[in-house]
């Protein structure tokens, strides 16, 4: 920023994210399930725009979470050079400790770990800084794990009753990098997207970046 200030360069700043992933009741559930896993666990969650807050309608919550946990348990951890691997290690011991610290904090603040939450014991994970893909349920918006960027494979699940509440929850963050909406009603999804304070909003997709525009907050 100091360099840019000298001659008023135009800059785009990317300062982290806590992207909200909204699943509407009319979503294609198979697509939304796989998309939500991809949104948060791609590159072990070490993505600024990862979909780390999953917002679910209360009526849809139980069946969606059950299937999400089942799919997460089937993810294979191991060598990232192996095409069969789904989840690789984090970048460093320092980051592993940081992610595990957030998981412990989530437990202390009252969120419930549905799957993961620790270091895998499989022999394939012995030589890397692994953290199990982790899903928290019962998360409240004010909790640390719902507000701070963890940069690891940790998903926070929040519930909403109405579309207005979903939008409010999505916008209840200091970040404005990304967000997503899953719905078969494209017009309604676009209306929701227009009210989200995020630089990039995906509809029935995640991590897809257009070459026609810069990617930033």
Q: Are residues 54 and 37 in contact, defined by beta-carbon separation less than 8 angstroms?
A: no
Q: Could you write out the three-class secondary structure of 27-47?
A: CCHHHHHHHHHHHHHHHHHCC
Residue 3 is among the residues annotated as catalytic for this protein: no
Q: Which of 3, 6, 14, 109 is an active site residue?
A: 14
Whether the CA torsion 56, 57, 58, 64 is positive or negative: it is: negative
β-strand pairing of 53-57 with 178-182:
unpaired
- Residue 132 known to be catalytic: no
Instruction: Provide the Cα torsion 25, 30, 32, 36; round to 10°.
Output: 130
Q: Return all residues near 124 (Cβ < 8 A) that are at least 6 apart.
A: 77, 78, 79
Q: Report the alpha-carbon distance of residue 185 to residue 188 in Å, rounded.
A: 6
| 110 alpha-carbon distance from chain centroid | 19
111, two tokens: 């969120």
Annotated catalytic residue within 48, 125, 132, 149: 48
**Which residues are designated catalytic?**
14, 48
């Amino acid at each position: 920023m100091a360099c840019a200030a000298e001659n008023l360069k135009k800059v785009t700043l990317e300062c982290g994210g806590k992207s909200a992933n909204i699943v509407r009741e009319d979503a294609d559930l198979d697509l939304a399930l796989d998309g939500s896993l991809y949104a948060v666990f791609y590159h072990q969650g070490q993505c600024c725009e990862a979909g780390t807050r999953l917002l679910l309608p209360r009526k849809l919550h139980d069946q969606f979470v059950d299937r999400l946990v089942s799919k997460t348990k089937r993810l294979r951890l191991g060598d990232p050079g192996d095409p069969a691997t789904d989840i690789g290690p984090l970048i460093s011991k320092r980051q592993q400790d940081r992610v595990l610290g957030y998981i412990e904090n989530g437990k202390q603040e009252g969120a419930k770990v549905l799957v993961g939450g620790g270091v895998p014991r499989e022999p394939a994970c012995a030589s890397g800084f692994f953290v199990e893909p982790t899903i928290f349920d019962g998360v409240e918006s004010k909790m640390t794990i719902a507000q701070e960027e963890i940069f690891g494979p940790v998903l926070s699940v929040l519930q909403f009753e109405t579309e207005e509440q979903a939008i409010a929850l999505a916008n209840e963050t200091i970040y404005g990098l990304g967000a997503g909406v899953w719905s078969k009603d494209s017009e309604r999804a676009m209306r929701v997207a227009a009210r989200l304070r995020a630089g990039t909003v995906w509809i029935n997709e995640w991590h897809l970046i257009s070459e026609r525009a810069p990617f930033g907050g």
